[in-house]
Amino acid sequence: MKPLISVIIPTLNEENYIERTLLAAKNQDFKGKYEIIVSDSSSKDKTVKIAKKFADKVVTKKMGISAGRNEGAKASRGDLLLFLDADTMVLPNVLSEVAAYFEKHKNIIGLNIPILCDNLKKNIFYMLAVYGFDMLKEAKLQPVYAVCFACRRDYFFEAGCFPENVRVAEDIHFGEQLKKLGKLEFLQTTFAVTSSRRLEKWGAVKQLKAWPGGYFYFKYLKRQPAYPPIRN
């Protein structure tokens, strides 16, 4: 029997991106059941209105990015949780590939999905960054990035969910707790496409310091990365 998958998307004023993200999430070749949950932090634009047209459930509450993911998880029913940024589109086979990987590899509890960006000229950065994360995984450091990440439901809650008391690198904090419980991996058979807006606003140097450089800030310097996340 195929697992139920919950796709959880935190939002805050994402009217320019959320519709295409939701359409991509709905256009899946997965033969099992899945639900799409938008967890909105009191958006002032049309985000909620758009979300209600496509999502199975919309949670609205004033909250930060970590709390948004956590509230979405609490409202979900899935055996597998797929966390997705509001400006990120999954390929049609992402859910089926994620489900198949977890079914085949019972010892894996978390799965990073590779990402490219919607600007071809800037994709070299994302390819290098994803390769860097894969190298960290091979070095047994097992980082997590929440742009597109799946994990088993029970282990998500056992790890304590995403920390709501940190300003940046909440996925790195969460990954440090999650990897104590089991093995994390990189999916090799599909990917997601995310917006290049962070790279365009920060530039490559700042972006590298925050991602994947943020891992080393937290892991070895015991402090937050130098740059906060982009939020609309």
Q: Assign 229 a pLDDT band (cuts: 50, 70, 90).
A: very low
Average pLDDT, the chain: 85
Q: pLDDT of 187-225, one tens digit each?
A: 999 999 999 777 666 655 555 555 555 556 555 555 554
Q: Using DSSP, how many helices (H) and how many strands (E) does the chain show?
A: 10, 10
Q: Backbone phi, then psi, for 206, in 5-degree steps?
A: -65, -40
**For residues 143 and 121, what is the distance between their CA atoms, to the nearest angstrom?**
26
Beta strands in the chain (DSSP E): 5-11, 34-40, 57-60, 80-84, 88-90, 108-112, 115-117, 148-152, 183-186, 192-194
Domain 5-196 has CATH 3.90.550.10: yes
Q: What angle do CA 59, 34, 189 make, to 5 degrees?
A: 115
Q: pLDDT of 28-57, one tens digit each?
A: 999 999 999 999 999 999 999 999 999 999
Q: pTM of the full predicted structure?
A: 0.86
Is the pLDDT score of 85 beyond 90? yes
